[in-house]
């Protein structure tokens, strides 16, 4: 269907760009929406604050906070458009189906404008939808989105202390707070190990660095790089995304260069994260895995005792 913004904003409603003063408001909108879809909020205030600070989000032109005629916040949408990418992540949340359509119209239209401004020959819009959110799944189908991939949220509980694993032969480790060279090595590993996977486009190093510097839930001590025979080959990036609301650790990214796979490095990094979280008194550790990943990642996580607790599908629309 034609997704240009043709339908008007519902009568009496107003819209404006959000500010940092709206973090609680946006959180409340998403929390209510998520509770209706999966039964719990599935985000924190810090998540919203960090999302508004993302380098790829131009709040003035790519985010919309909608109020009804009584001044009540009733909807929010935004477009994340990192430089150099052809796939834009979008979000929309509203309990009003009509307003949800307006938000989708708007984020898609803005994505097309950005593609035009950057003179992109191709651009896609990605929207993540809970598998259980049948109304939104029906709506994205109506808009012509097609299935992209599936992410499983994996969890392992910590009911007792876990032993620290031994470093594999020839392996040394460094932390991200040890210097710029560790961070640059981590970035290079990310690019090498994730290129070719769904939705991944390497953002410039400075932008990658900025996103982490601005993230309240991350500090550089949570980044681990493994060197094999002196060469950086693997990394794990943790953050506190699930700490305040669930007292759980989170492995935000785990990557191993192709030439170093099959040597137990990923398992070492996972068991180390589990041991660290258990020692810190955290109830569990989470991570997300793309089940269409060309590497056998899901099997790895199952083999170390993790289980699937939530399914999220990414739906994609060819905007240009």
pLDDT in tens, 184-196: 999 999 999 998 8
User: Two tokens at 36?
Assistant: 């209706």
Asked which of 6-15, 67-76, 130-139 is least confident by mean pLDDT, the reply is: 6-15
Could you tell me which residue, 309 or 55, shows the higher pLDDT?
309
Scan for tokens 């819009």, then name that residue: 125
* pLDDT above 90 as % of the chain: 88
pLDDT at 5 (0 to 100): 53
pLDDT of amino acid 1: 42
CA distance 30 to 22: 12
Strand order in the sheet with 87-93: 14-16, 63-67, 73-80, 87-93, 124-130, 307-318, 146-157, 284-290, 248-256, 231-239, 223-228, 171-175
Give the tokens for residue 85: 């990418």
The predicted pLDDT at position 193 comes to: 94
**4 pLDDT above the threshold of 70:** no
* E-assigned strand segments in the chain: 14-16, 63-67, 73-80, 87-93, 124-130, 146-157, 171-175, 223-228, 231-239, 248-256, 284-290, 307-318
User: What does the alpha-carbon distance between residue 29 and residue 74 come to, in Å, rounded to a whole number?
Assistant: 7
Per-residue pLDDT, 291: 84
Name every residue whose Cβ is closer than 8 Å to that of residue 317 and which is 6 or more positions away in sequence: 3, 108, 124, 125, 127, 140, 143, 144, 145, 146
Q: Is the pLDDT of residue 154 over 50?
A: yes
In this structure, are strands 223-228 and 231-239 parallel, antiparallel, or unpaired? antiparallel
Residue 192: the pLDDT is 96
Task: Quote the strand ranges of 131-230, DSSP E.
Answer: 146-157, 171-175, 223-228
Q: What pLDDT is attached to residue 3? A: 45
Tell me the pLDDT tens digit for each residue of 73-104.
999 999 999 888 888 999 999 999 999 999 99
Q: Mean pLDDT, the chain, as a whole number?
A: 94
pLDDT surpassing 80 at residue 235: yes
List domains and CATH numbers for the chain: 14-144 (3.40.630.30), 154-313 (3.40.630.30)
- pTM score: 0.90
Q: Which residue has the higher pLDDT, 164 or 85?
A: 164
Tell me how far apart the alpha carbons of residues 36 and 74 are, in angstroms, rounded to a whole number: 14
Contact 124, 87 (CB under 8 A): yes
């Amino acid at each position: 269907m034609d997704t240009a913004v043709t339908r008007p904003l519902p009568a009496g409603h107003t819209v404006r760009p959000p500010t940092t003063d709206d973090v609680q408001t946006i959180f409340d909108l998403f929390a209510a929406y998520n509770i209706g879809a999966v039964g719990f909020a599935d985000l924190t205030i810090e998540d919203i604050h960090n999302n508004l600070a993302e380098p790829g989000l131009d709040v003035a032109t790519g985010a919309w906070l909608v109020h009804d005629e009584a001044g009540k916040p009733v909807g929010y949408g935004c477009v994340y458009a990192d430089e150099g990418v052809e796939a834009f992540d979008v979000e929309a949340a509203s309990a009003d189906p009509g307003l949800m359509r307006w938000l989708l119209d708007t984020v898609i239209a803005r994505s097309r404008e950005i593609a035009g401004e950057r003179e992109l020959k191709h651009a896609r819009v990605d929207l993540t939808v809970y598998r259980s959110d049948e109304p939104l799944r029906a709506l994205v189908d109506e808009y012509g989105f097609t299935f992209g991939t599936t992410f499983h949220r994996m969890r392992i509980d910590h009911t007792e202390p876990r032993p620290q694993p031994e470093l594999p032969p020839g392996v040394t480790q460094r932390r991200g707070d040890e210097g710029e060279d560790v961070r640059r090595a981590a970035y290079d590993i990310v690019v090498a190990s994730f290129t070719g996977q769904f939705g991944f486009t390497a953002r410039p190093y400075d932008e990658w660095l900025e996103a982490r510097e601005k993230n309240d839930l991350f500090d550089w001590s949570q980044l681990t790089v493994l060197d094999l025979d002196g060469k950086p080959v693997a990394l794990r990036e943790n953050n506190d995304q699930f700490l305040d609301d669930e007292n759980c650790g989170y492995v935000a990214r785990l990557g191993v260069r192709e030439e170093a796979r099959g040597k137990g490095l990923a398992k070492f990094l996972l068991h180390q994260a589990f041991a660290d979280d258990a020692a810190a008194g955290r109830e569990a550790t989470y991570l997300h895995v793309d089940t269409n990943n060309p590497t056998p990642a899901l099997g790895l996580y199952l083999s170390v005792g993790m289980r699937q607790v939530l399914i999220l599908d990414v739906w994609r629309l060819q905007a240009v």
